[in-house]
Structures are given as structure tokens and as C-alpha cells.
């Protein structure tokens, strides 16, 4: 009898403690066009001490994949699905998601989270398609894509005026990185203290056009020469400092111990012209951006590693051990992961392509075999990673060109083995066909 009573008591106590455990706060920070080697921990020439510290004390995900360009990556994060399911493959100003989409912020709100976006949305650039319509309590920044750092204008055209707070357009003074950071830190300080929160901070750095404040140019190492190269380095350093400010705010508010921070980029680095004619003139330093993806192949827009494999750090004191996680993961995995941590259980099948990473990141579970599917702008190129192989396809139908790489032995994709490995190529082609069958099944046509 005593044994039964004690056992019942401990079971009740365990259940109570589990139920009483606070839901984690989640801060997801995403840079724009940040190259693999733009950060110091990957050999970058610009110092990034705050990111270095996060990586040293947290967990670096060394094979973290995203889409080749921005709107698709954001679609994957918001839905847990491949962006091609929504027909989203390019940067776009049209509404990307169906109105009834269960987005990440909607899911978290349903289990008690406060939600905030401060930065770049780019999943529908009209105010009536903005973040507040898809689960964010508060939103601020650019409804469209990357903006001029000082005038906050998007490209010339219908969406040039895009800077907003809660979907109401406004004009403000200040550098875009500072404004996004100030809004994030201010929201953290002002929010309710008893509710968990999801803070999404999609910076516009280091997206063109770049023009940095003098105070940051003065901090660039002397060994970095050339006007645009120095502005680019200053932009990376400025971004790093912004991450440091957000972490410091969490610490000051006593929120850091129960907050999972994830930092990554939306695609690989770019070498596009900085002062293109698409943006209103503002004396931007001229020349191609020095986005650095070394040693990875290619850059933004490409399904090769340089376009889709990006820096990623996950940090949660006492919950994640410091180190490296080398298994392949993808941007679509974060929604299932965050929902699992928050206790969200969908009422229907959300058709997630992603998986809950937490068992492998924090609990030592063996990573499951993964098939990572990537679609480039306009479906013109696609790739499939299923270790040890990576299939790259350019074009479609009878004109398609297939390349096959042993991605474990040849991570920089130097040797195409398609001609020598016909059997393996055939298997990968069939896997690609299976993965592609769900494309466009959630197109925003409502």
C-alpha cells in the first residue's frame, strides 16, 4: 500500500513538474545574403565577436540548408514545407501563402505565445498581405524586400514605399540595421512578462544596396581595402553588433536562460552590383558585392552549395551542449522543432516536409536519413541531397541536364559522377520525381 501510494505521488509530481515547465522563448535571427565565409568563424576577414561567442558556447549546424533566394526561404520557415509547394521560387511581392495557412506564428500563438516580426517580410508586399494577417501580434520593417539603408525604399515601382509598423506605412530616420535592432530590443523590454514569446528578426543586412555609417567604417580592419569592400565589412560587423544587442537585452531582462536563439542566413552570398538602377540613387559605393562563399561552389540563386548552405548557430544555455552538428538539416525543420518545444499539436496534417530536430540536437538521437529537396527560381534548377549523393538538375523534360556528386567526399562539388554512376543516378532521379509530386499543392489562389 505504501509503495503504491509513493509511486502514485511521484507520478503525480513528475506530471506536475512536466506540465509546469515554462515554454521556451524563441528568437530567430536571419541575415540577408550572408555568405558562408562572410563570418569570422568561417574565415571571414571582418570580425564578428558576438556570433563567434554564440557559436563557441552554442551548437553550430554545419550543414544547414536554405533556398537559393529570399522569399522561398521565408516561406519554408513560416510553413515547415518546401517553398515549391506554394509555387514560391523567386523573390516576390505577391502574396505567397493561402489565407488559411497554419504558419509558425499562428501555431505558437495558439499555445500562448506573443509573436513579433521586426525586419523584412517579403511574403506579400501590400499592407493587407502583411505579417499581422499571418499570426504576428506586432510587425515592423520592410513589407517588401531589402531596402536602401537610409531612405528605407524598396526597388522603384509599386512597392517602393514599404517601411511600416503593423502594416501602416511610415517614414523614419536612421540606418536600417539600427532601426530593426531598436524595435526588437524595445519589444522585448515592453512585452508581458508571463507569456512565452517568438521574436523573428529578419535583417536586411547584408543585402544590397549597402552604405554604412562612418562609425562602423572606422572600425573596419585596415587590411580590408577598397570602398565597397570596407562598406561590406562594416555591414557584417554592424549586423554582428545587432545580434549582440539582442542577446544583451535578453540577459538584462532575465530571459536568456529560457530562450532558444537561432541565427542563420536566407541564402548564400551575392556578387550583384551594389548601385544597380533598381533603387533610388543615394551615392552607394559602386561595384559587385564581395559576398564570400569560399570554399563552397557558386552563390546566391544557385542550388549548388554556395547558394544554399549557410552559417547556422543554435544557442540555449544549459539545454544545448557546445559543439557542432554535422548532419544535414533544412530551414523547413524549424517549424516542427519549435512547435514540438512549444507543445503545439496540429489538429490536421500540415504536410510538413521538415522534421523536429530537437531529439538530435539536444538529446543525442541519431539523425534520421534525410532527403533534402531544393528548387531554384522559376524551377529552372533543382537539387536533391540524399547522402552520400547530391543530384543537381538544370532544365526540365528531355532537355534536362543531370549532375551527380558524392557530397560527403566532394562537398565543394568539383567532380560530376553522373556518367560513371548510372545506377545511383537513376535512383536519385526517381527520388526527385517523388519529392516533386507535391509541388504547387498549396498555391495561394484563394
Do residues 83 and 72 lie in contact, with contact meaning Cβ atoms separated by under 8 Å? yes
Which of 70, 116, 235, 339 is catalytic? The answer is 70
pLDDT digits (tens, 9 = 90+) for 65-110: 999 999 999 999 999 999 999 999 999 999 999 999 999 999 999 9
DSSP letter for 43, please: T
Is there a catalytic annotation at residue 122?
Answer: yes
- Tens of pLDDT, residues 114-151: 999 999 999 999 999 999 999 999 999 999 999 999 99
Query: How many whole angstroms separate alpha carbon 442 and alpha carbon 331?
Result: 18
Q: Are strands 329-330 and 64-65 parallel, antiparallel or unpaired?
A: parallel
Rounded to whole angstroms, the Cα distance separating 234 from 291 reads: 13
- Give me the catalytic one of 42, 64, 122, 238: 122
So what's the pLDDT on residue 86? Answer: 98
Whole-number percent of the chain with pLDDT over 70:
95
**pLDDT of residue 9 exceeding 90:** no
* CA 432 – CA 194 distance, rounded (Å): 46
- Tell whether the model's pLDDT for residue 11 goes beyond 90: no
- Interatomic CA distance for residues 126 and 132, integer angstroms: 12
In this structure, whether the domain defined by 372-436 belongs to CATH 3.30.1120.10 is answered with yes
444: confidence class by pLDDT, cuts 50, 70, 90? confident
Q: What are the boundaries of each domain within the chain?
A: 22-362, 372-436
- Which are the contacts of 312, defined by CB distance < 8 A and separation ≥ 6? 60, 61, 64, 262, 263, 264, 329
Strands 389-394, 323-325: pairing kind: unpaired
Residue 15, pLDDT above cutoff 50: no
Query: Vertex 370, ends 369 and 376: CA angle to 5°?
Result: 165
β-pairing, 59-61 with 163-165? unpaired
Give the right CATH number for 22-362 from 3.40.720.10, 3.30.950.10, 3.90.700.10, 3.30.460.80: 3.40.720.10
Mean of per-residue pLDDT scores for the chain: 94
List, for residues 50-66, the tens digit of each pLDDT value.
999 999 999 999 999 99
Q: Is the pLDDT of residue 1 over 70?
A: no
Judged by DSSP in three states, 244 sits in helix
C-beta of residue 189 within 8 angstroms of C-beta of residue 106 = no
Mean pLDDT, range 251-278, rounded to an integer: 95
Residues above pLDDT 90, as percent of the chain = 91
Q: What is the pLDDT of residue 2?
A: 52
Distance separating alpha carbons of residues 126 and 12, to the nearest angstrom: 51
Please choose, from the candidates 135, 172, 137, the residue with its C-alpha nearest in 3D space to the C-alpha of residue 152.
172
Q: How confident is the model over 193-201, as a mean pLDDT?
A: 93
**Residue 70 catalytic?**
yes
Q: What is the pLDDT of residues 295-339, one digit of tens each?
A: 999 999 999 999 999 999 999 998 999 999 999 999 999 999 999
> 17: part of which helix (H) or strand (E)?
helix 2-20
Amino acid at each position: 500500500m505504501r509503495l503504491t501510494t509513493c509511486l502514485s505521488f511521484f507520478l503525480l509530481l513528475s506530471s506536475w513538474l512536466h506540465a509546469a515547465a515554462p515554454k521556451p522563448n524563441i528568437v530567430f535571427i536571419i541575415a540577408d545574403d550572408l555568405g558562408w565565409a562572410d563570418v569570422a568563424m568561417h574565415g571571414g576577414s571582418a570580425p564578428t565577436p558576438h556570433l563567434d561567442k554564440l557559436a563557441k558556447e552554442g551548437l553550430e549546424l554545419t550543414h544547414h540548408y536554405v533556398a537559393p533566394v529570399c522569399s522561398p526561404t521565408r516561406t519554408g520557415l513560416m510553413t515547415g514545407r518546401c517553398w515549391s509547394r506554394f509555387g514560391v521560387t523567386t523573390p516576390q511581392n505577391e502574396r505567397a501563402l493561402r489565407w488559411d495557412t497554419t504558419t509558425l506564428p499562428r501555431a505558437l500563438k495558439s499555445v500562448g505565445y506573443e509573436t513579433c516580426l521586426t525586419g523584412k517580410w517579403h511574403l506579400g508586399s501590400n499592407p493587407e498581405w502583411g505579417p499581422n494577417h499571418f499570426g504576428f501580434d506586432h510587425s515592423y520593417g520592410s513589407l517588401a524586400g531589402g531596402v536602401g539603408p537610409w531612405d528605407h525604399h524598396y526597388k522603384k515601382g509599386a512597392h517602393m514605399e514599404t517601411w511600416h509598423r503593423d502594416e501602416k506605412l511610415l517614414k523614419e530616420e536612421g540606418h536600417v540595421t539600427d532601426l530593426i535592432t531598436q524595435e526588437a530590443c524595445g519589444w522585448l523590454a515592453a512585452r508581458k512578462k508571463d507569456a512565452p514569446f517568438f521574436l523573428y528578426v529578419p535583417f536586411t543586412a547584408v543585402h544590397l544596396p549597402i552604405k554604412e555609417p562612418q562609425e562602423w567604417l572606422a572600425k573596419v580592419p585596415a587590411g580590408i581595402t577598397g570602398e565597397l569592400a570596407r562598406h561590406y565589412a562594416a555591414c557584417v560587423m554592424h549586423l554582428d553588433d545587432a545580434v549582440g544587442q539582442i542577446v544583451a537585452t535578453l540577459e538584462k531582462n532575465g530571459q536568456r536562460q529560457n530562450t532558444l536563439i537561432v541565427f542563420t542566413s536566407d541564402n548564400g552570398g551575392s556578387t550583384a552590383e551594389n548601385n544597380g538602377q533598381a533603387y533610388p540613387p543615394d551615392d552607394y559605393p559602386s561595384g559587385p558585392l564581395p559576398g564570400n562563399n569560399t570554399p563552397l561552389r557558386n552563390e546566391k540563386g544557385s542550388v549548388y552549395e554556395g547558394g544554399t548552405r549557410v552559417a547556422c548557430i543554435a544557442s540555449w544555455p544549459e539545454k544545448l551542449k557546445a559543439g557542432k552538428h554535422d548532419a544535414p538539416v533544412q530551414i523547413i525543420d524549424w517549424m516542427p522543432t519549435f512547435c514540438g518545444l512549444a507543445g503545439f499539436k496540429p489538429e490536421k496534417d500540415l504536410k510538413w516536409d521538415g522534421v523536429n530536430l530537437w531529439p538530435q540536437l539536444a538529446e543525442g538521437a541519431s539523425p534520421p536519413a534525410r532527403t533534402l529537396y531544393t528548387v531554384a527560381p522559376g524551377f529552372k534548377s533543382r537539387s536533391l541531397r540524399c547522402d552520400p549523393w547530391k543530384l543537381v538538375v538544370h532544365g526540365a523534360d528531355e532537355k534536362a541536364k543531370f549532375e551527380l556528386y558524392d557530397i560527403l567526399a566532394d562537398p565543394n562539388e568539383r567532380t560530376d559522377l553522373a556518367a560513371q554512376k548510372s545506377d545511383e543516378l537513376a535512383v536519385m532521379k526517381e527520388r526527385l520525381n517523388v519529392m516533386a509530386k507535391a509541388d504547387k499543392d498549396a498555391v495561394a489562389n484563394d
